[in-house]
Structure 1
Amino acid sequence: MILRRFLFLVLVISIYPVSVRGEGEIYLSNPDSTQLRRPNYRQLHGLFAAQTALYAGSLYGLSKTWYKNPLVRFNIADDTHEWKQLDKVGHLYTAYQISRHTAQMYSWTGVSKKQAVIYGAISGFFFQTPIEILDGFSSDYGFSPGDMVANLAGPVLYAGQVLLWDEIRIQPKFSFHYTTLAQQRPELLGSNKAERWLKDYNGQTYWFSWSPRSFFPESNWPAWLCLSAGYGIHDMVAGETAKSIELGYRPYRQYYLSLDVDLTKIKTRNKFVRTVGFMLNSLKVPAPALEFSQRGFSFRPIYY
């Protein structure tokens, strides 16, 4: 199901205008952000219309192509035990990134910082809610309370930081590497490289990056250099741990500590470079990492 969330994130980014002011989480560090500005209602209404049309069309397409079997009575499926909850972190990540990107777009219409953050957070949550509802009417999936909690946690993490600290200090990020496990069950973990990137949870790692400088502004720590804590899984060739064990594997969790770069904190006057940095800041930069799992500690010279 992560494929559908990824498609929505791509759709949000696809309407991104290549224009950026300021540095960091751009509108937050704009020196004019504290001044009252009259919203450009034409742009604001246009953005509302574009989001509505894009989302409605996407949902219609999904309802016709993704759900192959006829819809049934609404049903609930508790899948919180699957994939060692890595998929739930993926939901949080996707909802967070949709919130972050849409808030940035709203800020360009001239609304206040608080309004942009709230509109972005609402978008991050509601962009995914109808998908969960459609799942509830599907015999293949079912409505997942765990997914809904994660879908809410992402926007809360985004808006909560801005409203509490007036900036983003903790940034969810993503990295991926190909594994040989997908070859064992290509129908589930992906039959080609593109599918494996989206379906093979064994190769996905979700990170939370932060710069000590954000918490200790008087320190000499570079603002762009971050510490990053990651979470991944391995040997999961089925959604359920028991099923993976039956197939001869021993699934386990992986925890990482690494370095990262906040691309929005790298100073440059080039607007295009700042825009690219803002968009790529959702991905973890490859770097040395310390891994801890049930197998003990290990050092990865370069991990992604």
Structure 2
Amino acid sequence: MRLLLFFWLCIGSGGGLAIAQYADTAQVNKKKLTRIILAESAFYVAGMSYLQFIWYKDHEAVPFHFYDDHKGYLQIDKFGHVFGSYLESYAGYHLLRDAGVSRKKSLMYGGALGFVLQAPIEVFDGLYEGWGFSWSDVVANATGSALVVGQELLFREQLVKYKFSFWRSPYAAQANGYMGRNFLQSLFLDYNGHTYWLSAPLNKLVWHETLPPWLSVAAGYSANGMFGEFENLRYYRGVWLPETARYRQFLLSLDVDWTRIPTRSRFLKKVFNVLFFVKVPFPALEVNTQGQLKGYWLYF
């Protein structure tokens, strides 16, 4: 759901992100700013309507309550909250800067956008059975926005990109629909296939300007063996599920920073800017909590 909200925001309200060296003295483009505000408002209303009338339609409304899920899915869900908030804040900041809004106001309104957009979702969760208001979700959402704002304040750029990669895990086919019955459903339900990355340009880290500016190194986190939120289910909808061990994975890989690829094509520049959050498949090393060291010729 949070990924969908981001795509609505990024594509619907801006038609692409213009990422450049913005001048603090630029004039505000009132037409562009108006389009951004109207589009973001429309998609926000659409998103909230989707939550109320579709997402929660099969759940009974209950008094506001809390839910402690900070250990759920070995924290993969929390990394996902950080990711959604980061994307929305990143998009909000750059869209406002592209419209000529000052850096200070763009950070204040655009940089906080992820936290602001996610907050009503957390409140809705607290009002429906099967969900609940989660303080760990709120902290994760705040972390995503802080990652954008903090880097702009420290470096005046997003030196470290927060990225995502997904590949449907082999567990999905064994879960009788618990992790989704196709690739799109599994994107939201198969947490075993999620990997979250912090990616930074190598030439900035080792101070070696001969390296191409787009070549990055990425540290990733994933988890595996999960057939349930806190512990594995053994039986689901009439089918016995395989017995597996839950474990964490820590990864190291190379990456490409799309926004640093030089091009004179305006079309390609827009494409590259929208792809800023996508981790490129590369060979990778894995260390996991089962004490294993693994290598992958290609990891995504």
TM-score clears 0.5: yes
Range that drifts further, 242-251 or 120-129: 242-251
Offset at 1:9? 1.1
Q: Per-residue CA shift, 1:123-176, capped at 9, x if unaligned?
A: 111111111100000111111111111111001001100111111111111111
Among residues 73, 85, 92, which one is paired with 2:63 in the alignment? 73
Matched-pair contact (CA < 8 Å) for 1:114–1:163: no
The answer for the alignment partner of 1:301 in structure 2 is 297
Q: Secondary structure at the match of 1:206?
A: strand
**Contact persistence 1:254–1:292 (CA under 8 A):** yes
Counterpart residue number, 2:39: 50
Instruction: Flag the 1:16–1:57 CA change in 2: closer, same or farther, 3 A.
Output: closer
Inter-partner Cα distance in structure 1 for 2:284 and 2:146: 28
- In structure 2, the CA distance between the partners of 1:260 and 1:216, relative to structure 1 (3 Å rule), is same
Does the CA-based 8 Å contact 1:263-1:277 persist in structure 2? yes
Uncovered stretches (5+) of structure 1, i.e. residues with no partner: none
For the residue of structure 2 that corresponds to 1:61, the secondary structure is: helix
The one of 210, 221, 225 equivalent to 2:200 is: 210
Corresponding residue for residue 53 of structure 2: 64
Deviations 1:36-77 (A, max 9, x none): 122123432332232122212220222011112231100000
Counterpart pick for 1:127 among 94, 97, 117: 117
What secondary structure is seen at the aligned counterpart in 2 of 1:107? helix
Residue 243 of structure 1: CA displacement?
A: 4.5
In 1, Cα distance between equivalents of 2:177 and 2:16: 41
Q: Which residue of 2 aligns with 1:271?
A: 266
Runs of 5+ unmatched residues, structure 2: 236-240
Which residue of structure 2 lines up, in the alignment, with residue 252 of structure 1? 247
Structure 1 stretch displaced more, 8-17 or 249-258: 8-17
Higher helix share: 1
Q: Which residue of 1 aligns with 2:280?
A: 285
Distance of 1:114 and 1:277 partners within structure 2: 26
Tell me how far apart the structure 2 counterparts of residues 285 and 244 of structure 1 sit (CA, whole Å): 35
Letter in 2 for 1:9: F
Q: Determine the C-alpha separation between the residues in 1 that align with 2:88 and 2:41.
A: 14
Q: CA deviation at 1:220?
A: 2.9
User: TM-score when scaled to structure 1?
Assistant: 0.90
- Secondary structure at 1:152 match in 2: helix
For normalisation by structure 2, the TM-score amounts to 0.91
- CA distance, structure 2, for counterparts of residue 197 and residue 61 of structure 1: 19
The residue that corresponds to 1:187 in the other structure is: 177
CA distance in 2, matches of 1:147, 1:227: 28
Identity %: 33
Q: Which of 50-59 and 230-239 deviates more?
A: 50-59
Q: 2:90 aligns with which of 60, 76, 100?
A: 100
Number of aligned positions between the proteins:
293
Kept after mapping to 2: 8 A contact 1:20/1:274: no
8 Å contact from structure 1 (residues 244, 251) kept in 2: no
